[in-house]
A and B are shown apart, each in its own frame.
Chain A
Amino acid sequence: MASLVTAHNVSKHFGNVRAVDNVSFEIEKGKIMGLIGPNGAGKTTLLKAILGLTDCRGDLSVLGLDPFRQRKKLMQNICFIADVAVLPRWIRVRQLLDFVASTHPNFSRSRAEALLQSTKIMRDSKVRELSKGMVTQLHLAIIMAIDAKLLVLDEPTLGLDIIFRKEFYANLLGDYFDGERTILITTHQVEEIENLMTDVMFINDGKILLKASMDSLPDTYAQLVAAGDGAAKARRFGPISESEMFGKAVLLFENVSRENLAGLGDLSTPSVADLFVAKVKGARA
C-alpha cells in the first residue's frame, strides 16, 4: 500500500532536549493513525515536522514532498486542526468561508455551506460569538469541505463536552473518512478514538515505542486478570506489566500465545490505554 508519510531517522533537538529522537515509520494511505503519547513525548513536534511548521533532521517525506521546504504545495493536500481555539475570533463565518474559498484550491464552498446547514451557526456571527462546540463544528465543516489527502488532528476535541466530542468523531467518520483519505490524530482521550483507529503509534521521550495496526493487537497482546495460582503460573511467561485490581493481578503479555494463558484467569485484549501505560512504564523501567 502507498505510504503518505515516510520518516527515516527523523530527529528534532531543542538544545540538549531530544524532542524527536531518530524515529522511523510510515503511514499508509487510507489509515486512521492514532499518535499516542504523554505530555512532552514529542507528539506535537513530530506533527509540526509533518506539517512543515518546523525543520528536522533525517528524511521526512509527506505526500512525496519535503514538508518544510514545500509547505505551500503540501498545504493544498493537508488539513490540520491544532486546537479548537485557533480560528480567529474577530472574523465572521461568512468572511472565513470567503477567505478559504479564495485561497484554498481544494475547498468546496457549497459543501461547507451544506455541512453548516445542520448546525445553528449563523453566517454573520463572529467566531467570538460562537460557543466552543460551535467553533469546532465550524472548523470541522471547513476542514471537511477541503478535498485533502491527509488530515492531521492535534487534540481536536480539547475542552469540549462529551456530546460535542462524540458528534465530532461521528461527523469525521460519517462525512469525511472514505477509506481513501488518511487521518493522523493525537488525543489524551484515547478511549474515544480507540474504535476509530486503524493503526496506533506510541511515542515517549521522542522515541516510537509501538507502531501496529489495531487488528494485529489481539494477536500480539493479551491481558490476564488472575488470582493466586493462576497469577503465579502466568508470571512465568514474563508479563510486560502487572498491576492490581480488586485483589486480583492484572498481567499484560506481549507475544505470548493465548493458549498458554488460557485457563489461568480472565483473558482479554488490553485496551489501548492499558497497553500504552504498560509500554511507557516498561520503557522507563
Chain B
Amino acid sequence: MIAHQLALIRREIWEHRSIYVTPAAIAVIVTLGTLAALMFASGFAKELDVAIFGASNIAGEAERRGVLTAYFLLFFALFLLAVLILAVFYSLDALYAERKDKSILFWRSMPITDLEAVLSKLVTAVLVIPLVTLGVVVVTHVVNLLIVSAWVAAKGGDVGHLIWGSLPLFDNWLAAVIGTLAWALWMSPFVGWFLLVSAMTKRSPLLMAFMPLFVIPPVEFIFLRSRYFLDAVILRPGKIPLFRSMDLETFFDEDSLHLSENTVSLVAYLDIGRFVTSPSVWTGLVVCGLFTAAAIYVRRYRDESY
C-alpha cells in the first residue's frame, strides 16, 4: 500500500509539473524582487549609512527580528497564495484529465485500487503540494538572506550582528510548516469537493466546482432568509482557528519602547491546541472524507470511461 502510494504520488508529480515549477517561479520572482529592492536602496547611500548605523546601535534585537520576520512573512504570503491556487487547479484536474485523455484505462489495467488512486491525489493536494512549496520557501529564504547579507556586508554592516545574530530562522520556518499544513487541513473539504467534481463532471470542472459556491448563497437567502452556507463554506477560509487572539492594546502600547521577543515570534501566535480541538476542523475533515469517498465511488462505478 505505501509503496503503491509513493509510486502514485511520484506519478502525480511527473504529470503535474506545476507542483514544483510554480513555487520555483515564485522563488525566482522573490529573489529578483530582493535584488531590485537592494539596487534601488543602493541609490540612497547617505540614508543607507544612517540606517545601517541605526540598526547596529539604536534598534534592539527584537526590532531587527521584527523586520526580518516581516520580510519572511511578505514573501511567504506569496507562496501560500501559490499553494492555494495550485491545490485548486490540481484537484480539479486530478480525476478529470485521466478520463479526458482516456489514460484511465491504462491506470486501471494496473493492480491498483480506485481507493489507492484517489487517495494519492488527495495526499498530493493536501500534503505534497504544501510540503514541496515549504521546501522551496526554506531555500528561497536562505538564498535571499545570503544575498541581503552580502549586500549589507558590502555596505560595511556587521552581518553577523545585524542579520544572522537576530534571525528567527527556525521560528519562521516552524510557523510556516504549522501554518501551511493547518491551512491545507482546514481547506481539505474544498479539496474533497474539487476531487468529486473532477471525477464526475464531463466538462468545465472549474465552472462546475465554483458554480454552487456562487448560486447557493443567494438562493438560500431568497428562499430561507438564512446564510448558513455563506458562513460555513464561503467564509470558511478566513475562520481558521489557528491564531491566538492578539491583544492589540498591548501590542501598540506606547509605553512599551521595545517589542518583547514574543511579539516577533510567529510560533507564539499560533495556537495548535485550539486548532486540533476545534470541531470545525474535524467537521471539515469528515466532509473531505465524504467527498473523497464519493469520488472513489464515482471512479469505481462510472461506466463511460470505457
Contact = CB atoms under 8 A, between A and B. Distances in A.
Contacts of B6: 102
A72 B14 contact: no
Contact of A95 (B14, B102, B111, B113): B14
Contacts, number: 73
B15 A44 contact: no
Interface stretch (A82-90, A110-118, A156-164, A250-258): A82-90
Contacts of A103: 4, 7-8, 110-112
A109 to B, nearest CB: 13
A76 B111 CA distance: 5
A72 B10 CA distance: 20
A91 interface: yes
Contact of B110 (A48, A91, A104): A104
A91 B102 contact: no
Contacts of A79: 109
Contact of A82 (B8, B105, B112): B105
A99 B101 CA distance: 18
Given A85-B102, A89-B103, A102-B3, A80 B110 contact: no
Contacts of B109: 51, 75, 79-82
A83 B108 CA distance: 13
A34 B106 CA distance: 22
A263 interface: no
Interface string A205-233: 00000000000000000000000000000
A139 B106 CA distance: 9
B98 interface: yes
Contacts of B102: 83, 85-86
Nearest to B11: A99
A228 to B, nearest CB: 51
A243 interface: no
B111 A75 contact: yes
A106 to B, nearest CB: 9
B249 interface: no
B106 A86 contact: yes
Contacts of A53: 108, 305-306
Nearest to B305: A53
A87 B7 contact: no
A103 to B, nearest CB: 5
A55 B303 CA distance: 10
Nearest to B110: A103
B105 A72 contact: no
Nearest to A55: B301
Nearest to B3: A102
Contacts of A105: 111
Interface string A149-188: 0000000000000000000000000000000000000000
A100 interface: yes
A89 B101 contact: yes
Contacts of B101: 88-89
A131 interface: no
A82 B306 contact: yes
Interface string B291-306: 0000000000101011
A8 B118 CA distance: 33
A88 B103 contact: yes
Contacts of B11: 95, 99
A133 to B, nearest CB: 17
Interface centre among B6, B108, B111 (most CB of A within 10 A): B111
Contact of A72 (B111, B301, B305): B111
A248 interface: no
Given A75-B109, A104-B110, A90 B3 contact: no
Given A82-B105, A99-B11, A103-B7, A88 B98 contact: yes
Contacts of A48: 303, 306
A103 B4 CA distance: 6
A53 B108 CA distance: 8
Contacts of A104: 110-111
Interface centre among A48, A71, A103, A105 (most CB of B within 10 A): A103
Interface centre among A89, A100, A102, A139 (most CB of B within 10 A): A102
Contacts of B4: 102-103
A216 B144 CA distance: 79
A73 interface: yes
Nearest to A48: B306
B110 A102 contact: no
Interface in B76-134: 98, 101-113
Interface centre among A53, A75, A95 (most CB of B within 10 A): A53
Which 3 A-B residue pairings sit nearest by Cβ, starting from the closest? Answer: A88-B103, A75-B111, A102-B7
Given A89-B101, A102-B6, 7 more contacts: A53-B305, A53-B306, A75-B111, A82-B106, A90-B15, A95-B11, A102-B3
Interface of B: 3-4, 6-8, 10-11, 14-15, 98, 101-113, 301, 303, 305-306
